[in-house]
Amino acid sequence: MAITNPSGLDDGYNNDTVGGGSGAAGNSPGGNTGGSGTTPYVPGGTNGLTGCKQNPAAGETLAGTVQRYENLPETVPSGGVYQVMGSVESNFTSYYVRGDGTTWNEAVRPGLKNLIDPLTMPHALVRKADGTFEFAPFCWKPRQVGDTVTNPAPFFIGRPIRDVFFYQNRLGFLTDESVVFSAAGDYGEFWRRTVLDYIDSDPITVSATSNDVALLDFAATFNDGIVLFSGQKQFSLSNGEAGTTATSLEINPVTSYKLAQGVRPVPNGETVIFATEQGGYTAIQEYTRLDGRDATDAAEITAHVPGFIPQGVSKIIPAPELNTIALVMANSDNPERLYIYQYYWDGDRKIISAWRRWSLAGAQVLSGTAVDGKLLLVVRRNNKAYLESIDLQPTAVSEAQEHLIYLDRQVTLSGVYDAETDTTTFTFPYEPEPSLLRMVRTLGDAYPESIIQGASITVDGSTVTVAGDESHASVTAGEAYKTAMRFSQQFPLDYQGKPLTSGRLQLRTFMVTFVDTPFFTAEVQPYGLYANIADEDKRHVYQITGQRLGEAQMLTGSLSYYSGSQPFSVEADASQALITLINDTPFSSFFVSAEWEGLYYSRAR
């Protein structure tokens, strides 16, 4: 998040709260218009009741100047600010004190602009007692001690704030090439609380040093530090055992990648995932610290699929509990697509690293997040925005179904039967696409799991009419899509388990093992996807079902979920053959493993 309006200092508040008016201008900082009654969030107080603090030196003048603390008036007045010029004992540090009638307290020099204008700063989203949320300005604490030399304005004043984050109980801002931290445990405090001593919990400003200009755009917190990202360089910010203090913080350059513009890097377990630009395409990098040490390189997790992900990634969504990462493509030419990465670590060895592409027909995916095993997406369809979810958990079974159902925009509905017209009417929460609509009867002894035939379905907006009586049980409905899995090129292994990349492997057969699968298609293209082959017979298609002769499931109208293995012929050079498993039905398919048989010829010398 970049705050485009630079933050500024304000003379003071006209009243204790920002806003407060009923539609017209309310009381506001610095005389700015307050708006329609929005009140700020106040740290430590009750929102809207305890107002932002006023300028602590408003209306005061300097009563006098003394050289040492001992030279102050013996009778402490109530009010009145004196400047203590300092002595050898205080390293000639100048400071200010205000009397309260009994003691002298450290104070700020009169006549300064001490307030941070909340209207030009990040706002707060606050959960209220009734469960609703309020988005409003945040009250930032004023400068209460010192002057512009001993307690200068925070570094972000007059500059854009490029990112906001939290780290070790501090609020952090990225501004130009610097990181600015609030006081520990006090997110609204960015001023020193005394000029007579340096306190470890005080605000901190630290800058990234580089030979090139490196404006910091993003901060990703993970493991025991922060990775800072600029357009061309990446830095590691870490701290010692003393925690986040001015003396323990350290920023070091670590990598030099060209970051994909506007794509926020995200922590993912013990790694940070970020997108880079590479030859007109997008590459996804995985950065991690090794044994507490900064790595000087990142692993490209798209290296085995070069050119697969186009430019236009807008957001990276991590789901570490499912070993999954999703890419939103809102800035690309195909905003209906999602790119999904699935991985699995066996100790320090990654044994699964697979990419797949999903396409949501007729949709534009705007944004999303992962929560509790579900991918929540903001989707635009026909100029309407929807919040849709995809359950990524392997045990996710549709409501009222015994098996998974493969349908987009899936809903479970009950129909209303009209005996006069002999039709059943279903009301959808959206307008389904007629050519994609599929309706599946629920599983039951009297009514086996099956598809309602499309010829009997009439779609009129969000109302769907089906011929016959379908009101006896709920129906699972949604829009059909095709799933396809293409095998990568196969290689034989040598006695050390390493692939043999020379020679020729002639594949003869493939065998796929599957569970709980009623249908799928195996498609073999022996000469590759773009071979100039006029004979369609060169493309082999095998229709595979779970129905087996002699089994009890071979009943009319029933659906057989079968587990087993199915061989099919390939007869092709492994370097050219494309082997794809396809399922375009609403019924689930689970592929466990595959094996092949073939003849290997080593290259002749």
Q: What is the pLDDT of residue 535?
A: 55
Pick out the chain residues at pLDDT < 50.
Answer: 1-5, 12-39, 44-50, 445, 552, 554-557, 605
Q: What pairs with residue 477 in β-bridges?
A: 411, 439
Query: How many other CB atoms are found less than 10 A from the CB of residue 480?
Result: 18
CA trace torsion 428, 431, 434, 437 (10° rounding): -50
Q: What is the pLDDT of residue 12?
A: 43
Instruction: Classify the C-alpha dihedral 140-146-148-150 as positive or negative.
Output: negative
Residue among 542, 543, 541, 547 at smallest CA distance from 518 = 547
**Residue whose token pair is 């086996």:** 448
Q: What is the pLDDT of residue 51?
A: 56
Give the distance from CA 8 to its chain's centroid: 31
d(CA 479, CA 440) in angstroms, rounded, equals 11
Q: What is the pLDDT of residue 544?
A: 84
Q: Structure pTM? A: 0.80
d(CA 311, CA 337) in angstroms, rounded, equals 12
Give the E-state strand segments of 103-202 in sequence order: 104-107, 115-116, 124-127, 133-136, 163-167, 170-175, 178-181
Q: What is the pLDDT of residue 361?
A: 84
Residue 593, CA distances (Å) to 171, 390, 565 in order: 49, 25, 9
- pLDDT tens string 67-110: 988 889 988 888 889 999 977 776 778 999 999 889 999 999 99
CA trace torsion 390, 392, 395, 399 (10° rounding): 0
- pLDDT tens string 457-480: 999 999 999 999 988 888 889 999
Q: What is the pLDDT of residue 27?
A: 29
Residue 476, CA distances (Å) to 402, 455, 462, 473, 562 in order: 12, 17, 15, 10, 22
Q: What is the pLDDT of residue 227?
A: 92
Tokens of 232: 């061309």
> Do residues 579 and 557 touch, judged by C-beta distance below 8 A?
no
